[in-house]
């Protein structure tokens, strides 16, 4: 059984998700809706990658790279405003 940290704050429990028509039992503290949304997203990315990369292992790696790339791009977009906000807070505190 795999573990997924959802930061749901609740007690960890075992849930079943389905990706590429295969069931996976996952132990998580995330709520069911969040876990189902994550599984649906991964399933969608994997299905898209498998259109051009039929090998499941290669498709899984490419899907993971695509998801990680998207995450890092979004993280970079959020980092700039946070830095700007902190600079403004620091400026206000110094006045």
> Which pLDDT tens digit goes with each residue over 62-91?
999 999 999 999 988 877 787 888 899 999
C-alpha distances (whole Å) from 26 to each of 5, 13, 35, 76, 78 are 10, 8, 9, 29, 29
Q: Are 27 and 13 in contact (CB under 8 A)?
A: yes
Q: In 1-95, which residue ranges form alpha helices assigned H by DSSP? A: 32-50, 56-94
- In the prediction, which pLDDT does 95 show? 80
Q: How confident is the model at residue 52 (pLDDT cuts 50, 70, 90)?
A: very high
**pLDDT per position as a tens digit, 4-40:** 666 656 788 899 999 999 999 999 999 999 999 999 9
Match 């993971």 to its residue by tokens: 64
């Amino acid at each position: 059984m795999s573990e997924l940290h959802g930061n749901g704050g609740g007690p960890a429990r075992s849930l079943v998700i389905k990706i590429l028509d295969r069931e996976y039992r996952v132990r998580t503290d995330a709520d069911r809706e969040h876990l189902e949304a994550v599984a649906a997203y991964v399933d969608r990315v994997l299905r898209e990658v498998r259109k051009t990369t039929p090998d499941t292992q290669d498709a899984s790696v490419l899907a993971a790279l695509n998801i990680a790339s998207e995450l890092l791009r979004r993280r970079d977009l959020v980092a700039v405003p946070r830095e700007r906000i902190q600079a403004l807070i620091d400026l206000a505190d110094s006045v």
